[in-house]
Chains A and B, each alone.
Chain A
């Protein structure tokens, strides 16, 4: 590495890569060479920058100029204007949703301004494939300290004092987990990193592994020393090829530098890790199922206790933590428990990484202090709801979590508050929903997911989730009967209490939380046969307002089943018998004309021809 006058940090997380980040990087390098600037300007591929919505992203340092949604065609102009003439290109900068003026500096962009980075401190800053860059930002210093200056008891005391709790979802105190394992007499002991992230809409673990794989490795070596383990395993689902590739490079370079393997840093301590690829089954995220999978068996959970700390991998004491938990460890050891505990709430310390997705302007990965109000995440960082729609709920914690409604937007985000509100920290997926979301439909979506992912070992989960999904599907189809809600609730509590593992115990949460906050919506489906959000196909219909229709043919052309009749400049009509309710006509009709409307209830039913009405209502 040489001294350069500018570093161009190209985001190479999966999100940006899929939008063409590698092509942008190649174009940048080519243009810089063509202009004879190769000695002055360095192009660096970094891990996920977080602002996935705006990819491909390039950050120019030291100027701190944030360029977004770049294409290969933008590159010559960018190099000429910014790097040669020193005039940052306003056209390629980020403009907030409610504004017309771009915000040039990354530090001034709302999305980044409210974040506090511990786990993601190196995101968008270092090249994750170069161990020297991790070392440059104090990498492996905590490990050196733990190996040479601290006893295992001191390491565990530090982690306990920090208040760090498991970031995989349940929030078990990390120090306590390690201590239980350390006290076990049996040998050998093992360490596992749980990188099986399967929640719909969640990508925290993937991004951490892609952006800063060494942080996870360093955390594991520190724990290995604390519980005296010599071998560790990192379990990642095979759908995460870039994470696996970067981690593989990290492991090999750490071995080369003597930071993994025998006699680490000359301290006499030996520890090595290997990657285990999972086939991508949601139940593998459950720790006993994950252990079975590493052992080469089918990923089915088993009864606890004994806990993995007592009897885990191959019956040996095993410490298993989530990717994000491991990535927190080096900073705590290096900067001290008090520093970490200084951020967060009484019972939830430090920060939490969330993947912010759904109906939100700024989709991406965010790290925020524990205790931040939900409203700040949704409106300040997330930039609110697009297209002028209203916020309805946010689903936190994926299929294991629940929906938090508008009334609770003031809720502080910590383990206890979320659980009290009927949701769950989970691994940190946050799916924002607007007024066009039907809560029955959402509950059904998550329940079908868990039902399909259930391993089938225990009856409550196998049969219970299936029955619940059937009832929900009936309600959504307009076939709900009085008593369905009570039946759903009874089943939900049975599945929750009777299931063997976390998957079944949390599977009913989306149903229970939507019933808690949106019971009226269920009732509307069952009693009035209406879908207030106008989503459930059997309960809605589309109609063209003859007063507003200008006969532009747009809806007619968009209809995939030729259900619309009409001629240019003449009023169009939808044949309800042919309509499949895909909504293509609704989308196609220009907003300012607004002739197509989505109806539910009496009005909608009136459109259905007499002959078919008997069967659909």
Chain B
């Protein structure tokens, strides 16, 4: 890039790059944790993760943090993911499939409506 920036370009570049580095501050609008214990991986957590990242990419979402954690303790309901919207209690989804994950993103992450039929409960284990 050999472009001479204007002030408007500078602001645009800040906003664009900032959205890509937002997870370095550990604070996005939403955070999705895919549970990746051995049980989760065996049940297909990797597909869930790939679907999730693909959705975020194709929809151009820039304020959603994706992270992983270990086994959530409910091995028979894997794959699982926890969705946390800023200032709201986390929601755990169980027995996910790529299609279900896509719906959770569209309805819960984007529109803020919990997909009750896939949800286990509201709450989350303490993570560090």
Contact = CB atoms under 8 A, between A and B. Distances in A.
Contacts, number: 118
A136 B18 contact: yes
Contacts of B20: 1-4, 136
B18 A104 contact: no
Contacts of A88: 128
A86 B79 CA distance: 14
Contact of A258 (B4, B14, B21): B4
A92 to B, nearest CB: 14
Contacts of A139: 14
Interface stretch (B64-72, B89-97, B104-112, B114-122): B64-72
Contacts of A265: 5-7, 10
Nearest to A259: B5
B41 interface: yes
Contacts of B128: 63, 65, 88, 104-105
A140 interface: yes
Nearest to B35: A86
A86 B82 CA distance: 13
A317 to B, nearest CB: 29
A141 B65 CA distance: 26
Contact of B36 (A64, A84, A140): A84
A6 B33 CA distance: 12
A566 interface: no
Nearest to A254: B5
Interface residues of B, number: 42
B17 A86 contact: no
B14 A62 contact: no
A126 B14 CA distance: 13
Nearest to B13: A135
Contacts of A84: 36, 41, 68
A387 B64 CA distance: 46
Contact of A62 (B7, B23, B41, B61): B23
A339 interface: no
A62 B69 contact: no
A5 B51 CA distance: 12
A5 B7 contact: no
Nearest to B15: A136
Contacts of B18: 136-137
A258 B26 contact: no
Contacts of B68: 5, 83-86
Given A7-B24, A86-B36, A132 B56 contact: no
B74 to A, nearest CB: 15
Interface in B4-52: 4-7, 10-11, 13-14, 17-18, 20-21, 23-28, 31, 33-38, 41, 49
A266 interface: yes
B48 to A, nearest CB: 12
A257 interface: yes
Interface residues of A, number: 43
Given A85-B41, A135-B10, A136-B17, A7 B3 contact: no
Interface in A124-148: 125-126, 132-133, 135-141, 144, 148
Contacts of B7: 144, 148, 265-266
A164 interface: no
A39 B53 contact: yes
A520 interface: no
A85 B37 contact: yes
Contacts of B4: 257-258, 263, 266
Contact of A136 (B14, B41, B49): B14
B13 A132 contact: yes
A295 B3 CA distance: 34
Interface string A60-98: 011111000000000000000001111110000000000
Nearest to A258: B4
A1 B1 CA distance: 14
A140 B12 CA distance: 12
A596 interface: no
Contact of A85 (B1, B28, B38): B38
A85 B69 CA distance: 7
Nearest to A36: B46
A257 B14 CA distance: 13
B88 interface: no
B62 A86 contact: no
Contact of B10 (A133, A144, A263): A144
Given A84-B41, A85-B70, A256-B2, A62 B17 contact: no
A266 B67 CA distance: 41
A539 interface: no
B17 A135 contact: yes
Contacts of A436: none
Given A85-B41, A87-B70, A138 B14 contact: yes
A140 B23 CA distance: 22
B26 A61 contact: yes
Given A1-B17, A86-B70, A141-B10, 10 more contacts: A62-B26, A63-B128, A85-B36, A87-B70, A136-B17, A140-B10, A263-B4, A265-B5, A265-B7, A266-B4
18 contacts: A3-B53, A3-B62, A62-B23, A63-B26, A84-B36, A85-B38, A86-B67, A87-B37, A87-B69, A132-B17, A135-B13, A136-B17, A137-B18, A257-B1, A257-B4, A258-B4, A265-B10, A266-B6
Interface of A: 1-7, 9, 39-40, 61-65, 83-88, 104-105, 125-126, 132-133, 135-141, 144, 148, 256-259, 263, 265-266
